[in-house]
Amino acid sequence: MIIAERKPMEEIKQFVALYKKVLVAGCGTCVTVCWAGGEKEVAMLASQLRLATSSEGKKISILEATVERQCEREMVAEIKDKVAEADAVISLACGSGVQTIAEMFEDKPVFPGVNTTFIGMPEKEGFWVEMCGACGDCFLDRTGGICPIVRCAKGLLNGPCGGTRKGGKCEIDPEKDCAWVLIYRRLEKQGRLDVMRKYYAPKNSRAVKRPGRVQAAKA
């Protein structure tokens, strides 16, 4: 899932400073799960903005709305009346959601209320760990399902560096297990250590065509 964190309040206040009516728009999927931009977070930010602007002697009307997924135009269309009513929009969705609203309503300023950080998975309640860099060339079949691109501090593809610490810890972050030690142990359990004996060329970091596009296969 996509992980995001809410931007500092002072930054958000600067976004809305020039407007009289602002819509705070939330998303009901990833940012709801990571407590950054769901319905509760929309209500919280709206309340904070009302208090902050009121204490500064400003009169700003704050509207609230949350859709299931901001990255889908059909769902964003559900709040078109509220967008039309507002002078500007604060989106609490990931960057994709922000861009969807901005594209659908080009006459409205749309500001990001959160910083999109990474693709991750929950390790425990309220704590998420980056697991995938969305590199477009998945390597997990050769590493026992452990991504060396994001879980190795150096993104190495051919085993650990020479700085692995005692106990299998990373030299960059001694509190973190070396990704390649984890990969070795995983492949050992699977009886697939021969996979590590192959050489893999470094990933191509040259410029690539952006944005990425995927066409779903027809059934």
Residue range 47-101, pLDDT digits in tens: 999 999 888 888 899 999 999 999 999 999 999 999 999 999 999 999 999 999 9
How many Cα atoms are found within 13 Å in the side-chain-facing hemisphere of 16?
A: 28
193/202 Cα distance (integer angstroms): 20
- Of all residues in the chain, the percent with pLDDT exceeding 70 is 93
* pTM for the full predicted model: 0.80
Phi, psi of 97 (to 5 degrees): -65, -40
Q: Residue 66: what pLDDT?
A: 98
Q: Residue 135: what pLDDT?
A: 77
CATH class for domain 2-118?
A: alpha beta
| Cβ pair 180, 148 in contact under 8 A | yes
**Buried residues in 51-62 as b, exposed as e (16+ CB within 10 A):** ebbeeeeeebeb
Give me the DSSP letters along 130-184.
EEE---SS--GGGTTT--HHHHSTT--SSS--TTPBTTTB-SS-TTSB-HHHHHH
User: Could you tell me which residue, 85 or 139, shows the higher pLDDT?
Assistant: 85
Average pLDDT over residues 133-152: 86
Q: Is 166 a residue whose pLDDT tops 80? A: yes
Residue 218: band (very low, low, confident or very high) from pLDDT cuts 50, 70, 90: low
4/37 Cα distance (integer angstroms): 8
137/193 Cα distance (integer angstroms): 22
Residue 129: band (very low, low, confident or very high) from pLDDT cuts 50, 70, 90: confident
Instruction: Describe the crossing of helices 39-55 and 9-16 by its angle, rounded to 10 degrees.
Output: 70
Q: Is 212 a residue whose pLDDT tops 70? A: no
C-alpha dist (Å) from residue 27 to 4, 12, 15, 36, 94:
12, 17, 19, 9, 9
Residue at 166: amino acid letter: K
The residues pairing with 27 across neighbouring beta strands, listed in sequence order, are 67
Report the chain's mean pLDDT, rounded to a whole number.
89
Q: Residue 39: what pLDDT?
A: 97
Q: Residue 184: what pLDDT?
A: 94
Average pLDDT over residues 177-181: 93
The residues pairing with 120 across neighbouring beta strands, listed in sequence order, are 130
Q: Is 208 a residue whose pLDDT tops 60? A: no
| Cβ pair 130, 138 in contact under 8 A | no
Q: Residue 179: what pLDDT?
A: 93
Q: Residue 46: what pLDDT?
A: 97
Q: Is 214 a residue whose pLDDT tops 70? A: no
Q: Residue 137: what pLDDT?
A: 78
Q: Residue 121: what pLDDT?
A: 85
Average pLDDT over residues 122-127: 84
The domain locations on the chain are 2-118, 133-197
| Cβ pair 25, 90 in contact under 8 A | yes
Q: Residue 213: what pLDDT?
A: 58
